[in-house]
Amino acid sequence: MSTVTVTDDSFEKDVLQAQGPVLVDFWAEWCGPCKQIAPALEQISDDLAGQVTIAKLNIEDSPTTPSRYGVRGIPTMMLFKDGQMSSMKVGAMPKQKILEWLSEAGVQQPAA
């Protein structure tokens, strides 16, 4: 399963009403660190398919949702559970750190 593209119009359905946790990556085309973490998020999406949905929201195409959630810098990653934002990280980080964050936030991960 690859990452899911989310927009202001689809955020309610794709994130807030989703079954299971959703990690939303707020990004923009011009953001270097956003491009750095994109491959790691794709891998995590595959590794944790069925455990967590990885969604990407382009802040330039969909500016309403980032402002509603107070996104000030990108990349910003927010974890949503049951329609509520439960955890947030700002800035690029390696795949292992993202996995550790998800684990600390209660996302089940397959045994290595």
pLDDT tens, 62-106? 999 999 999 999 999 999 999 999 999 999 999 999 999 999 999
Which member of 34, 54, 99, 107 is catalytic?
Answer: 34
Q: How many separate domains does the chain show?
A: 1
**CATH code: domain of residue 30:** 3.40.30.10
Q: Name beta bridge partners: 78.
A: 24, 88
* Cα torsion angle, 30, 56, 6, 63, sign: negative
| Full domain range(s) for residue 40 | 4-103
Q: Is 34 a catalytic residue?
A: yes
In degrees and rounded to multiples of 5, residue 17 shows phi and psi of: -105, 10
Prediction pTM value? 0.95
Residue type at position 35: K
> Which one from 24, 31, 93, 98 is the annotated catalytic residue?
31
Summarised one tens digit per residue, pLDDT across range 48-64 is 999 999 999 999 999 99
Q: What local confidence, expressed as pLDDT, does residue 101 receive?
A: 96
Q: Is the previous residue joined to 63 through a cis bond, with omega within 30 degrees of 0? A: no
- The predicted-structure confidence for 20-39, as pLDDT tens digits, reads as follows 999 999 999 999 999 999 99
Distance CA 112, CA 54 (A): 20
Domain annotation covers residue 112: no
Structural domain contains residue 16: yes
